[in-house]
Structure 1
Amino acid sequence: MSILKSVISLGASVLMPIIFFIVGLLFRVKIGKAFEAALLVGVGFTGLNMVIDLLLNNLGPATNAMVKRFGVHLTVLDTGWANASQIGWSSALMPLAVFTFLLVNVLLFVVKFTKTMDIDIFNYWIFLVVGTVMYVASGSFVIAFVIMLLLFILMLKVADWTAPTIQKQFGMSGLSFPHLTNSPWVLLALLVNGIVDHIPGLNRVKLSPKQINKRFGVLGEPLVIGFILGILIGALAGFSAPKVMDLAVKVSASMLLLPKMVDILMEGLKIIRGAVEKVLKSKYPDREIFIGMDVALMAGDPSVMATGLLLIPITLLLAVILPGNRVLPMVDLSSIIFILPMMAAYLKKDLLRMLIAGTIMMVFILYIGTDVAGFYTAAAHMTGATVPTGTSQIISMNSAVTNPLGWLAIKVSQLLGNAF
Structure 2
Amino acid sequence: MNIINTIINMGPSVMMPIIFFILALIFGVKVGKAFKAGMLVGIGFEGINLVIGLLLNSLGPAAEAMVARFGLNLTVVDPGWPVGATIGWGSPIVPFVVFGGLLINLLLLVFNLTKTVNIDIFNYWHFLLTGGVIYAITDNVVIASIGALIHFVIAIIIADKTAPKIQEAYDLKGVSFAHATSAMYVPIGVATNWIIEKIPGLNKIDANPDLITKKFGIMGEPLTLGTILGALLGVLAGFNITEIMILAIKVASVMVLLPAMINVLVEGLVTVRDAAEATLKKKFPNREFYIGLDTALLIGDPAILATGLLMIPAALLLAIILPGNKVLPFVDLASLVFLIPMVSPYCRKNMFRIFVTGLVVITLVLYIGTDIAPYYTMAAETANVALPQGVDSSTQMANLVGGATTPVGWIIIKLASILK
Q: TM-score, normalised by structure 1?
A: 0.98
Given the alignment of the two structures, is residue 142 of structure 1 paired with residue 145 of structure 2, yes or no? no
Paired residue for 2:416? 413
Query: What are the residue-to-residue correspondences of 1:207-356 with 2, within 5 Å?
Result: 207-356=207-356
AA aligned to 1:413 is A
SS in structure 2 opposite 1:324?
A: coil
Unaligned runs of 5+ in 2: none
Query: What are the residue-to-residue correspondences of 1:61-80 with 2, within 5 Å?
Result: 61-80=61-80
State percent identity of aligned pairs. 49
Counterparts of 2:72 and 2:380, CA distance in 1: 24
Give the deviation of 1:147 after TM superposition.
2.0
Whether the aligned pair in 1 keeps the contact of 2:55 and 2:250 (CA below 8 Å) is yes
Whether the aligned pair in 1 keeps the contact of 2:296 and 2:338 (CA below 8 Å) is yes
Give the deviation of 1:386 after TM superposition.
3.1
Superimposed CA distance per residue, residues 150-185 of structure 1 (whole angstroms, 9 cap, x where no aligned partner): 221222111111101111111111000111101121
SS in structure 2 opposite 1:286?
A: coil
- The alignment's C-alpha RMSD in Å is 1.0
Paired residue for 2:398? 395
Superimposed CA distance per residue, residues 15-71 of structure 1 (whole angstroms, 9 cap, x where no aligned partner): 110111111111110001001101100110010000000000010000001100111
SS in structure 2 opposite 1:91?
A: coil
Counterparts of 2:115 and 2:246, CA distance in 1: 45
Counterparts of 1:399 and 1:104, CA distance in 2: 22
Give the deviation of 1:200 after TM superposition.
1.1
Whether the aligned pair in 2 keeps the contact of 1:138 and 1:415 (CA below 8 Å) is no
Given the alignment of the two structures, is residue 132 of structure 1 paired with residue 132 of structure 2, yes or no? yes
Superimposed CA distance per residue, residues 327-382 of structure 1 (whole angstroms, 9 cap, x where no aligned partner): 00000000101111011121111011111111111111111100000000000001
Given the alignment of the two structures, is residue 7 of structure 1 paired with residue 7 of structure 2, yes or no? yes
SS in structure 2 opposite 1:342?
A: coil
Give the deviation of 1:216 after TM superposition.
1.2
Whether the aligned pair in 2 keeps the contact of 1:181 and 1:399 (CA below 8 Å) is yes
AA aligned to 1:81 is W
Give the deviation of 1:143 after TM superposition.
1.0
Counterparts of 1:413 and 1:91, CA distance in 2: 16
Whether the aligned pair in 1 keeps the contact of 2:120 and 2:292 (CA below 8 Å) is yes
Give the deviation of 1:277 after TM superposition.
1.1
93-102 or 284-293: which moved more? 93-102
Given the alignment of the two structures, is residue 50 of structure 1 paired with residue 50 of structure 2, yes or no? yes
Give the deviation of 1:251 after TM superposition.
0.2
Q: TM-score, normalised by structure 2?
A: 0.98
SS in structure 2 opposite 1:396?
A: coil
47-56 or 103-112: which moved more? 103-112
SS in structure 2 opposite 1:259?
A: helix
Whether the aligned pair in 1 keeps the contact of 2:155 and 2:184 (CA below 8 Å) is no
SS in structure 2 opposite 1:335?
A: helix
Number of positions where the alignment pairs a residue of Structure 1 with one of Structure 2: 417
Give the deviation of 1:97 after TM superposition.
1.6
AA aligned to 1:407 is W
Counterparts of 1:321 and 1:199, CA distance in 2: 25
Paired residue for 1:22? 22
AA aligned to 2:328 is L
Whether the aligned pair in 1 keeps the contact of 2:130 and 2:147 (CA below 8 Å) is no
Counterparts of 2:350 and 2:403, CA distance in 1: 24
Give the deviation of 1:387 after TM superposition.
1.9
Superimposed CA distance per residue, residues 294-315 of structure 1 (whole angstroms, 9 cap, x where no aligned partner): 1111011110111110111111
Counterparts of 1:185 and 1:338, CA distance in 2: 11
AA aligned to 2:100 is T
AA aligned to 1:409 is I
Counterparts of 2:11 and 2:184, CA distance in 1: 27
AA aligned to 2:133 is V
